[in-house]
Amino acid sequence: MLSTTEQELEKKFQERIDKGESIEAKDWMPERYRKQLIRMMGQHAHSEVVGMLPEGNWITRAPSLRRKCVLLAKVQDEAGHGLYIYSGTETLGISREQMLDELLAGKAKYSSIFNYPTLSWADIGAIGWLVDGAAIVNQTVLAKGSYGPYARAMVRICKEENFHHKQGYEILATLMKGTPEQRAMAQDSINRWWWPALMMFGPSDKDSPNSAELLRWKVKRYSNDELRQRFIDRTVPQAENIGLTLPDPDLKWNEERQHYEFGTINWNEFYEVINGNGICNKDRLKARRKAHEEGAWVREAANAYARKKSGETIAA
């Protein structure tokens, strides 16, 4: 039971939200609000960092120097986003180390899409076009969310994601204008990435445990299904434009609804991957743990050196 004071505070909090005010780090907020944001922002930051692995998989094999540079710049952006969102999450009273510990212990989630493998160069295109495309639909809305530090981070991040989205589409467009092998590579990639990209919006709202509360607090502004529909509507014409076939026989335009209809998503696969059974779940965590463990001596040395230096300053 909430005490009377807390009930009042929560009422005022909700009024601020309803008026469209932005909540800042030092403002009073319900404990659940804080926890939900830590969960969401932490997941987002982890996704940026884990997402470097499938893309990093192709930097050393990028087929031209220009593509290599663009991909390096993109992955560097992702690391920057991770850093930025971790800092934003720290305003809620959790440290980056705590968040990383939760990730490495397998307690914190990251976007399940990164548990799928990058098997060809075209997958770098598909990640940019579909995965970043889906992320943009989500994040454009998050940029209008109620928590100030997160919303502001999203504004900046969306700008860069738009560039990532374009470069991914351009990779695929170039492949589709190329040799039969290149076109097959692009099509195969879309066959594998389309459905997982749709799953990125999360389960249907009736099955999404956090949705109602997040909508009430304007952390989320639209339902998962609405955002998924928005993504599909804008992506189908782009696919047609470069001659890619989306792997869904039920996909068709509904004139009356002014939306595309689409087939049934395999939610069983979604839950299996979330629960650790995707192709790359174990590899991704293993890679992150290895980096963390092998970097321990570096972090210890940097700390020891900083202590010695500050000791010198004090002594001087």
Helix or strand holding residue 170 (H, E): helix 148-176
If the CB atoms of residues 172 and 190 are measured against another protein, the closer one turns out to be: 172
Q: Is 252 strand, coil or helix?
A: strand
Query: What is the phi/psi pair of residue 170, to 5°?
Result: -65, -35
Nearest approach, Cβ of residue 190 and another protein (Å): 18
How many residues of this chain interact with another protein, rule: CB under 8 A?
48
Rule CB under 8 A: is residue 256 a binding residue for another protein? no
Q: Are 40 and 10 in contact (CB under 8 A)?
A: no
Residue type, 46: H
Tokens 């992702």 belong to 78
Q: How far apart are CA 78 and CA 81, in angstroms?
A: 5
With contacts defined by CB under 8 A, name the span among 26-34, 151-159, 172-180, 205-213 that binds another protein: 172-180
Sequence-distant (6+) residues with CB within 8 A of 299 are none
What binding mask, one character per residue, do residues 266-295 give for another protein by CB under 8 A, x or -? ---------------------x--xx--xx
For residue 122, the minimal CB distance to another protein (Å) is 11
DSSP state of 245: P
Query: How far apart are CB 306 and another protein at their closest, in Å?
Result: 8
Site string for another protein, 63-102 (x = CB under 8 A): xxxxxxx--xx-xx--xx-xx--x----------------
Contact 151, 162 (CB under 8 A): no
Please enumerate in sequence order all residues whose Cβ is within 8 A of that of 249, keeping only pairs 6 or more positions apart, or say none: 263
Binding mask 132-171 for another protein (x = CB under 8 A): ---------------------------------------x
Q: How far is the CB of 103 from another protein (least distance, A)?
A: 12
Closest approach of Cβ 69 to another protein, in Å?
5
Cβ 165 to another protein shortest distance, Å? 19
**E strand or H helix that includes residue 40:** helix 31-50
DSSP reduced 3-state for 200: coil
Q: How far is the CB of 27 from another protein (least distance, A)?
A: 28
Contact 92, 25 (CB under 8 A): yes
Binding residues vs another protein (CB under 8 A): 49, 52-53, 56, 59-69, 72-73, 75-76, 79-80, 82-83, 86, 121, 171, 174, 177-179, 181-182, 287, 290-291, 294-305, 308
